Amino acid sequence: MKKENNLNNLDKITLEDSFINACKDKKFVGLVKKLNIPKEEAMKYTSSLEDTIKELNNCEQCANLLCCQNRLEGHVYYPKKEETGLIFSYVPCHYQKEEDEKAKNKPSRENELANARMADIDVKDKKRVPIIKWLKNFYDTYDKNGQFKGLYLHGNFGSGKTYLIAALFNELAKKRITSEIIYFPELLRDLKTNFDLMGETIDYLENVDLLLLDDIGAEKVTEWSRDEILGTILQKRMNNYKTTFFTSNLTIEELEHHLNIHQYSDEEIRARRIIERIKQLTDDMELVSENRRK
């Protein structure tokens, strides 16, 4: 028992020595006073408090997030007084808060598509006029109980392909027409990581009134993604007379080459089968316009 007491005394002396040494720094002393904790309590957190002072010193010399020298970029390891003692966590600096605020206020692509309206479509670009006329005609004539072709809309990156179709979908939603926009590469990633959702997801995509497979051709093609996922969805939608849309940076001919994985004759047949389904489901139109994502 006496030996244990001696060890405890040695630990206390070591903590006190470290604390006294840390108190040579006026900033350390100021932080302890700000936290309003007794010396005996502060001694327990000497090392962590010194880490806080070090990071605060880094912040004084910092011009922006790129210059951050702290362990977690844009954050300071800072203490908060609780009933049980001090709790240390990473608190964002003012540069990080500015970035967080910008990100919060910046419209996301999802929000942009959700708010897309046909009345807001830019009609000044003459290259868009044929597509706008197609969309307007589709809106005027579409009946979910009939058979209507969708659109295979291809063109350069950022030309507004997805926005145009999203605007159509949003207008038709007012008529209680259900629709879904699926970024195709992301769909494949999600299904790979969660096979339990595959049946439910595929069933939904096969039956929603209007479906847009966005950015088809941007995915890494496998036999599974082409035949089991894409092929199944397209075949069921054809059987159910459901209208399907596509956007792509590839023409249909380029997409066929993309789907022909190994360039074998058997692969060529499977790729051609997908392309024929797309052709039966859609009208083929091209949009070459300025990059609106700049």
Beta strands in the chain (DSSP E): 75-82, 85-92, 150-155, 179-183, 210-214, 243-248, 282-287
Residues 73 and 117 occupy one common structural domain: no
For strands 210-214 and 243-248, give the pairing: parallel
Write the burial class of residue 193 (CB in 10 Å: 0-12 exposed, 13-18 middle, 19+ buried). Answer: exposed
Indicate the pLDDT class of residue 14, thresholds 50, 70 and 90.
confident
Indicate the pLDDT class of residue 2, thresholds 50, 70 and 90.
very low
φ and ψ at 69, to 5 degrees? -110, 0
Q: What is the mean pLDDT of residues 145-164?
A: 88
| 39 found inside a domain | yes
| 293 found inside a domain | no
Cβ atoms of 133 and 103 within 8 Å: the answer is: no
**Residue 177 neighbours by CB under 8 Å, 6+ apart:** 142, 144, 169, 209, 210
Indicate the pLDDT class of residue 210, thresholds 50, 70 and 90.
very high
| 21 found inside a domain | yes
Could you tell me which residue, 289 or 173, shows the higher pLDDT?
Answer: 173
Q: What is the mean pLDDT of residues 54-83?
A: 91
Coil, strand or helix at 286: strand
Count how many domains the chain has. 2
Residues 172 and 43 occupy one common structural domain: no
| 292 found inside a domain | no
Coil, strand or helix at 217: coil
Residues 214 and 277 occupy one common structural domain: yes
**Residue 154 neighbours by CB under 8 Å, 6+ apart:** 161, 246, 247, 248, 249, 250, 251, 252, 284, 285, 286, 287
* Radius of gyration over every alpha carbon of the chain, rounded to an integer in angstroms: 30
Closest to 245 in 3D by CA, of 294, 158, 172 = 172
Find residue 248's DSSP bridge partners: 154
Q: What is the mean pLDDT of residues 106-111?
A: 66
Q: 């903590």: which residue's tokens?
A: 15
pLDDT digits (tens, 9 = 90+) for 155-176: 887 778 999 999 999 999 999 9
Report whether pLDDT(266) > 90.
no
Residues 251 and 141 occupy one common structural domain: yes
**Residue 248 neighbours by CB under 8 Å, 6+ apart:** 152, 153, 154, 215, 216, 217, 218, 255
Residues 116 and 96 occupy one common structural domain: no
The domain boundary, picked from 67, 101, 135, lies at 101
Residues 58 and 169 occupy one common structural domain: no
Residues 75 and 155 occupy one common structural domain: no
Alpha-carbon gap, residue 175 to 285, rounded angstroms:
26
Domain of 270? 109-287
Cβ atoms of 153 and 289 within 8 Å: the answer is: no
